[in-house]
Structure 1
Amino acid sequence: MVTVQTKLIFEGSEDKQKVLDLMRRWSSCMRYAYKRLLEGHKRNELKKQLQGIFNLNSRYVDDAIMKAKSILTSCKERGENPNKVVFGGRQLFEKLQKRHINGKAYRKLQLKWQEKRKGNLYSRGDRSKKGNLNTRIEIDEDCTKLRINVGEREYVYAIIQPGWKIKDRTYTDRNQLLQAIGTCGEPYSVELKLKNGKIYAYFTVEEVFPRPAMTRTSGVIGIDTNAYPRHVAWTETDKSGQLLEYGRIPMPELESGSSSKREYYRWQYAYMIVEMAKDNQKALVIEKLNIKDKGKRGDFSGRKSRRIRHYFGYRSLLEKVKLLAKREGVEVIEVNPAYTSVIGMLKYAPQFMVSKDVAAAYVIARRGLGLRERIPHNYMMFLSRLDVNELEELKEYVRKVVKNTYVRKKQLREIDRAKKFLQSLGSEAERLSVPLDGTSAGSRGKNHNLWRVLRVAVVTPLSPDRVLRDMSVLKSLLVSGQVGKTYKGVSSCFLGQGLWLSQIPPAGAGKA
């Protein structure tokens, strides 16, 4: 959907007053319809009744009922009590009830609440009427106008004044876009809102996208978003999933600044990603994110976690990538991001000597092609020899080494989960009987748990207090099953039968 915000300029105060009266009646009609829907009344019962009460035509009444029904449905989906909905805004209403503000400030607050409560009008588009019958865009030689039906064959005309602040550079002129919406014959919806005594109009039309010309048949580009440090890692593959090229796009501008500035740069980075897909004639594979955790203790605690997530804006960036890709005919594939970082870190980072973020982008690309990840043979042999008692010793090691309370608790929880899963499998033979593949998107079964156990058993001893970035130390275990050279000064508890923790060098060991 494309939405254009504009301001309406009326020729006289009388015309504006007629529109304000229409908005007041429509808002009352919508609130009345909401109450009747709560009582169990049906749409057909209400339609004729509301026309007589509020002196509105059938289309306006139908739109008011539809809007009331959508509010009721969304309220139930969120698990809220629909009887406690406050039209005009609960926050403003509660401020007005407390009466802690007096004089002009209180009257200003009251006016703002009344505008939000009574200053609304919504009119749906109609394909059979080639646009919108009640609120129609009409084009003159000098300007673009909005014709508003305020009564029986009575119309008010208002000049449409589009803004000049354009965030999306696809449409360089909003006036041309409005004219295109008005003349294309497609249905468009119009919503009027009253703010600070001025009437604003929002025009919404469904965008028609071309058929994708760049699909997964020629390969894909996988995208992995990372908020700390702020960057996007990408990998290019052929149609069989073989790695061709990789890189990262730093995004320092998303670390701070106003919301409009960050929004501008998100558009710029989205264009950069889509242009890369166009140049290589590849489809894009992105994460299907469902971010609910806004501040739980983890790698980053409290305010720091919220600040990082807020400024980066995962969902906002990926939504822009999806929109621009559809406009340019680039296929966009969304995959479940579960365990992509873990699989990439353990399997592909040491194999290709790349960062764990690039490796995660490679796993995302392979998932977009429908490929499954097999746990390497040496890793499976390693897991078959792993004992629960060794994880107990690893817990003691974490307690001694990790000073940060929150990180220590998180690591101990992960070790306990790994222990519980190993105990559920039982013998070594039963562990090896678990199939090596089956880690496709949406799976949260035994195989994902195997990757979790592997991360705990291999990565935690190397870097128990922070995220390990250099995974090259795992290459010897991945390729040959050997752990590596002896490094003195590390705890002597062992990891895997015959594989001593003292044999695993810590991250960065051996570097100058």
Structure 2
Amino acid sequence: MIVIQTKLIFLDQEDKQIVLDLMRRWSSCMRFAYKRLLEGYDRKTLKRDLQGTFDLNSRYADDAIMKAIGVLESSRQLDNNPKKVIFGGRDLFGKLQKRHINGKAYKKLKIRWHEKRKGNLYSRGDKSKKGNLNTRIEVKENGTFLRINVGERKYVYTKVQAGWKKNKNREEILQEISESNIPYSVELKLKNGSVYAYFTIEEEYPEIMIKKDKGVIGIDLNAYPDNISWAETDEKGNLINYGSIPMPELASGNKNKKEYYRWQYAHEIVKIAREKGKAIVIEGLEIKEKGKRGDFSGRKSRRIRHNFSYKSLLSKIKILVKREGIEVIEVDPSYTSIIGMLKYAPQHMITKDEGAAYVIARRGLGVQEKIPDNYMKFLNALTVEELEELKEYVKKTVRNKKLKKKHLKEIKKAIEFLQSLESESGRVLKPLEGTSFSIYDFWRVFKVAVVTPLSPEKVPRDFSILKELLIQGKWGDP
């Protein structure tokens, strides 16, 4: 997606007022549509009703509904209450509520809020309409203009003032777009009394040439420490190479600086995939609710949201790999961290984050993760006395530490699991047979029952101590 920002110059102030009135009506239409969507109205009914209410044509009304749907879906994805969305900006609205702001400062703040709330207009592109029907780019002898539909066969022409981008004039790019008849969307925004236009063109991606048939690169994003871990596999899921890319710049700095570095790190990942000729496997873009991912799910997801825009970075990787003709595969991230920690970190002597990237890569290839036999042999071989001792240790840990609900649930599950082993006479060496536990429950249980005693205060970074147990089945005092 390419976005070109321009400023609109009105040759007649009356024309500007007509466009501002259109933007006000469209903004009201979008807010009204949002409220009706919350009440359960469907798009077709809304489209019919909105045209007459706000004096908009069919396409403007439909675009307002589409934008309202986008706001609603975004609110739900971020776990916000859709009924509490504030058009115009929550931060600005909050500042207006503060009584210590008054005079010119208050008036300026109020103008900014009203501009963001009422100064909007969106018109989507359409290939069948040679680009865009309501807001069309037109090239004339005296410059490039935007023709805005303001009523039944009534148009306002405003001159497009563009700057420079990568040594090529933006105005020339807009002229090429106009002549090629490709679809482009236009969004108008009112800022400091001026109207700005944002032209968006959807990219046409090349055919996918690099696929997973030669292997993949698994990507795991980590909030602490800030880094991208990656693991390369062959077509069968065997580990070939691995590494990590530190991201110290995303720990602090302003929004623009972070956005710049997100693109740089996304380019680094795509460069690795291109040079190795491998597809990329990433976690699904949807951030899971806390408590559903296994290792550090709640805390990790919150840090990811706030520290370096996890979703934004993955989106950039997706865009770049498509431009390079590289296949990108999204997988469910559940339990990738804990499986990488317990199974592959000690086996290959890599970090738990690189282990998680390896699990993601294998999941992208459709490889199923099996529980190592020696782990089950270890739990099955524990005597009643050893099980009781381990259970008491876990209970003591609970009493001595202030744990979150998620960790308490894990520990409770571990104790239940150990009790189920105690009650079995002649335990069989099959994972969780005859119990109500799933294969994923085992990984959580094993982390609590075995890893926690190794490092009671925090999850260790080094899991080499588990290597002999995992590979050779050697263990001592549990």
Which TM-score band applies after superposition, normalised by the shorter structure?
0.7 to 0.9
Residues of 1 paired with 2:197 and 2:322: CA distance? Answer: 27
Partner residue in 1 for 2:202: 206
Partner residue in 1 for 2:257: 261
Residues 388 and 419, structure 1, Cα contact 8 Å, conserved in 2? no
Distance 1:338 1:151, change over 3 A: closer
Residues of 1 paired with 2:43 and 2:474: CA distance? Answer: 72
The amino acid that maps onto 2:27 is S
Residue 280 in structure 1 maps to residue 281 in structure 2: no
Residues of 2 paired with 1:445 and 1:176: CA distance? Answer: 64
Shift of 1:114: 2.6
The amino acid that maps onto 1:202 is Y
Residue 326 in structure 1 maps to residue 322 in structure 2: yes
Aligned counterpart for 1:481 among listed residues 449, 460, 473 = 473
Listed one character per residue, the Cα deviations across residues 389-436 of structure 1 (whole Å, up to 9, x for unaligned) are 645534654677899844698766533221223445652656633379
Partner residue in 2 for 1:250: 246
Partner residue in 2 for 1:114: 114
Residues of 1 paired with 2:256 and 2:272: CA distance? Answer: 25
Residues of 1 paired with 2:168 and 2:311: CA distance? Answer: 24
Aligned counterpart for 2:458 among listed residues 440, 444, 466 = 466
Distance 1:395 1:148, change over 3 A: same
Partner residue in 2 for 1:230: 226
Residues of 2 paired with 1:361 and 1:72: CA distance? Answer: 33
RMSD value over aligned CA atoms?
Answer: 3.9
Distance 1:91 1:208, change over 3 A: same
Partner residue in 1 for 2:182: 186
What TM-score, normalized by structure 1, do the two folds share? 0.78
Distance 1:112 1:449, change over 3 A: same
Q: Name the stretch that deviates more: 391-400 or 140-149.
A: 391-400
The amino acid that maps onto 2:125 is G
Q: How does 1:58-457 map to 2 (within 5 A)?
A: 58-67=58-67, 80=81, 87-89=87-89, 92=92, 101-140=101-140, 143-162=143-162, 174-175=170-171, 177-288=173-284, 290=287, 292=289, 310-386=306-382, 390=386, 393-394=389-390, 396-397=392-393, 405-406=401-402, 414-424=410-420, 426-427=423-424, 432-434=429-431, 446-457=438-449
Residues matched between the structures, number: 470
Shift of 1:99: 5.7
Residues of 1 paired with 2:49 and 2:445: CA distance? Answer: 65
Listed one character per residue, the Cα deviations across residues 130-171 of structure 1 (whole Å, up to 9, x for unaligned) are 11111001234674321112234333222333466x7xx8x9
Q: Name the stretch that deviates more: 37-46 or 329-338.
A: 37-46
Shift of 1:175: 4.3
**Structure 2 unaligned runs (5+)?**
none
Residues 72 and 82, structure 2, Cα contact 8 Å, conserved in 1? no
Residues 222 and 228, structure 2, Cα contact 8 Å, conserved in 1? yes
Residues of 1 paired with 2:143 and 2:154: CA distance? Answer: 21
| Secondary structure of 1:433's aligned partner | coil
The amino acid that maps onto 2:314 is L
**Structure 1 unaligned runs (5+)?**
437-443, 484-498, 502-512
| Secondary structure of 2:369's aligned partner | coil
The amino acid that maps onto 1:27 is S
Residues 394 and 411, structure 2, Cα contact 8 Å, conserved in 1? no
The amino acid that maps onto 2:23 is M
Residues 255 and 308, structure 1, Cα contact 8 Å, conserved in 2? no
Residues 421 and 449, structure 1, Cα contact 8 Å, conserved in 2? no
Residues of 2 paired with 1:341 and 1:76: CA distance? Answer: 26
Residues of 2 paired with 1:38 and 1:374: CA distance? Answer: 45
Residue 5 in structure 1 maps to residue 5 in structure 2: yes
Residues of 2 paired with 1:115 and 1:143: CA distance? Answer: 28
Residue 500 in structure 1 maps to residue 477 in structure 2: yes
Shift of 1:60: 3.0
Residues 284 and 332, structure 2, Cα contact 8 Å, conserved in 1? yes
Residues of 1 paired with 2:342 and 2:60: CA distance? Answer: 60
| Secondary structure of 2:429's aligned partner | helix
Distance 1:195 1:328, change over 3 A: same
The amino acid that maps onto 1:329 is G
Residues 376 and 431, structure 2, Cα contact 8 Å, conserved in 1? no
Q: Name the stretch that deviates more: 109-118 or 228-237.
A: 109-118
Residues of 2 paired with 1:172 and 1:467: CA distance? Answer: 52
- Taking only the aligned residue pairs, the percentage that are identical comes to 61
Shift of 1:196: 1.4
Residues 411 and 464, structure 1, Cα contact 8 Å, conserved in 2? no
